[in-house]
A and B are shown apart, each in its own frame.
Chain A
Amino acid sequence: MILRRAHLFSRTIPRYVLRPVAPLRTFSRIAQAPNAKDSLPSVSAAMSFDDIQAVLESGPTWSVDSLLPPEKQAPNAPEITSLQLHHLLRLSALPLPKSQEDEEKMLATLADQLHFVGKIQQVDTTDVKPLRAIRDETAAAEAEQTITLETLKDALAKEKVIGKHYKRIQRDVTPIDASDVESWDVLGSAERKQGKYFVVESERPQE
């Protein structure tokens, strides 16, 4: 089964193409981390409790501290400039730093975070399809989700074509009962409103 899946992969996934310019990334001198692709068996045969105990007590396999930036040196992360920080804050609709000190703190935190998450760049993801959502990815499920003419048959059957020289579809004007979705008070939760409008107070922005 695994073989079959691997085969499917190679057929359906475009090969990963290296980009000519690699933008912002963490350069790491750490040796290639253990990867899911190595050939050691993933599951052992049944073991006695004593053997399991001996393995677990013989020492850790890795340290989560390895993800943290070193105390003394600068974190291994792309440098974010003050200009970039302000740009990111504007993108996030968040206020700009109040002081120089505030800004330095923000930059330091961001650098720490980027060191921490930059470790994913050590993972060999050649030919790996991104996992965007947990959903049924089988061919059967995909077929079921696909909208075809058959799915729309009932809706299409309601269309009435009129006209002799200029054939067109006549709109069905029978009112649709949407009371279950339209019966709520749209302005009900708004703090500031004027009549049937939301109120937003803004001066003309610079840009």
Chain B
Amino acid sequence: MSLFRHARQQIDNLGRYRHLNAFVNVANPESVLARVATAAGPSPTDNVDPRSPNGRLVAIKDNICTTDIPTTAASGILKDFQSPLDATVVRNLREAGAIAVGKTNMDEFGMGSHTTHSHFGATKSQVDGTDRSAGGSSGGSAVAVATGQCWAALGTDTGGSVRLPAAYTGTVGFKPSYGLLSRWGVIAYANSLDTVGILGNDVDSVEGVFDITNVHDHQDPTSLDPTTRSCLPIEAPPPSRTLKVGVPMDYNISTLDPVVRKAWLRSLQLLQKRGHTLHKVRLPATQHALSAYYVLAPAEASSNLAKYDGVRYGSRAEGKDGTPESVLFAKTRGEGFGPEVQRRILLGAFSLSAQAIDNYFIQAQKARRVVQQDFDKVFATLNRLNSSEYGNKTEGVDVLLCPTAPTLAPRLSEIQDQKPLHAYMNDVFTVPASLAGLPAISVPIRVDQAPNSENAEATGMQIIGQYGDDKLVLAVARELLEAAKAG
């Protein structure tokens, strides 16, 4: 099929799946198609590079700035915000010929695991006729990909926000190593963890977007500098190489759905049949990762979100900004931020307060180091961020394989009355890689279901690599998907 016909179909799907609420704002369809026609060139042949973003429709999560479509971060405080600039990752994609089709729904500022905490209403994922959670916070991007409303989508992943939606919607979701993709123009939630991520229906599209956006950006002070980049492997190892696959025992938790465990075993078996070896590994700090994450992310959020007062940009509450009874801008912030955002700001303010900072914030940063050391112990490759000697240890695994989420996508009705704390538990398998800044990808693996089963059909399997081993992680993801397809 030609690029233009693909685009035409995706534009049609925008209308067909409008009820899923995957997008907050969409671009003008005529101008999108006109740009596809220009990018595609005069000969609309079938020979289209599966990795090239040229002439492809890309959906952008709504916390990534675009000049042509508003950027709201799904927040009331930015509901009419029009960015004067494009984020670097958006500029990279536009320069490669991609066309932004729309801005996708999300949990406000990225805070949530189901894309239900949005000023613009929840995003739905429909599998076997029931309304299910799309995962969060990049749920809109995941649904847009899953329902063919775009070729690929950008999301952001702070503690699992790309991988969890990918697992729940049966798509591929990749969180690259922290610092590879520029965060300039990406609305900050927890800056030490925020990573731009990519969603697609296959590894090719994801890798295509990654190759275009994986460049140093001098405007982002956390962008990995060229000297360090030059120490990272550029290519994946040859496919013939036998890999050591680690099976982390600490991901075998009591609430792991038996279906997910089955898919995990199936994936391990598939990789072993391809000649790779399986190794039991221990990552004991996993048990504290979630707690550390929910100290660090809200603390950074309370600081990052302090700037929203409606003065220079954003929406303002009616009437006076400050009265003797209330703090200046409290009214605007109370009306503009949703309840989950306010809860996290408050928790962050607590862990940063003078009486708690040592036992909460600093202790969490130390626990974060322990998580990183845990990973460094099990990987065969040394961590290039803290070891100048590049090379391999004699022991250790090349990648880890574990589930992305403990369960399949829950029904939206099930999570409606949940306590805020319960949603935090969905991140138990994704948060450790975020804390250590490691590359991780979620790929859909199907398990045979009894015909009367209520469960959604695909589970997400996560492949985690050492820092900078992004190409290896992508290669293993591709191999696992191929093996699963072959049976």
Contact = CB atoms under 8 A, between A and B. Distances in A.
Given A61-B249, A65-B254, A120-B295, A88 B350 contact: yes
A49 interface: yes
Contacts of B254: 60, 62-65
B421 A144 contact: no
B292 interface: yes
B214 interface: no
Interface stretch (A131-139, A149-157, A158-166, A167-175): A131-139
Interface string A41-56: 1111111110011011
Nearest to A115: B421
Contact of B349 (A24, A61, A91, A198): A91
B366 A42 contact: no
Contacts of A134: 178-179, 192, 222, 385, 436-437, 467
Interface string B290-312: 11101100000010001001111
A183 B284 CA distance: 52
A25 B224 contact: no
- Best-surrounded residue of B355, B367, B372 (most CB of chain A within 10 A): B367
B346 A92 contact: yes
A22 B397 CA distance: 40
B453 interface: no
Contacts of B378: 42-43
Nearest to A128: B366
Given A1-B382, A47-B278, A52-B247, A205 B324 contact: yes
Interface residues of A, number: 94
Contacts of B294: 113, 116-117
A18 B243 CA distance: 44
Contact of A114 (B311, B326, B350, B428): B350
Nearest to A137: B386
A135 B385 contact: yes
B281 to A, nearest CB: 5
Interface string A163-205: 0000000000000000000001110111110000010111111
Nearest to A63: B254
B369 interface: yes
Interface string B67-84: 000000000000001101
Contacts of A184: 84
A202 B320 CA distance: 6
Given A5-B387, A62-B253, A94 B346 contact: yes
**Tier of interface size on chain B:** 35 or more
A104 to B, nearest CB: 15
Given A55-B280, A57-B261, A62-B250, A203 B320 contact: yes
B386 A138 contact: yes
Interface string B332-347: 0110010000110111
B420 interface: yes
A109 B420 contact: yes
Task: Select the residue from A42, A57, A61 with max chain B CB neighbours within 10 A.
Answer: A42
B360 A120 contact: yes
B216 interface: no
A116 B424 contact: yes
Q: Which of A35, A113, A121, A206 has the most CB of B within 10 A?
A: A113
24 contacts: A1-B387, A33-B284, A33-B288, A35-B285, A47-B278, A56-B261, A61-B249, A63-B253, A64-B253, A65-B254, A93-B306, A95-B326, A116-B294, A117-B351, A117-B360, A117-B364, A123-B367, A134-B192, A135-B222, A189-B314, A190-B311, A191-B316, A192-B316, A205-B327
Interface of A: 1-2, 5, 19, 22-25, 33-36, 38, 40-49, 52-53, 55-57, 60-65, 67-69, 78, 80, 88-96, 106, 109-110, 112-114, 116-123, 125, 128-141, 144, 184-186, 188-192, 198, 200-206
Given A68-B421, A140-B388, A188-B84, 5 more contacts: A44-B280, A68-B425, A93-B309, A185-B84, A186-B312
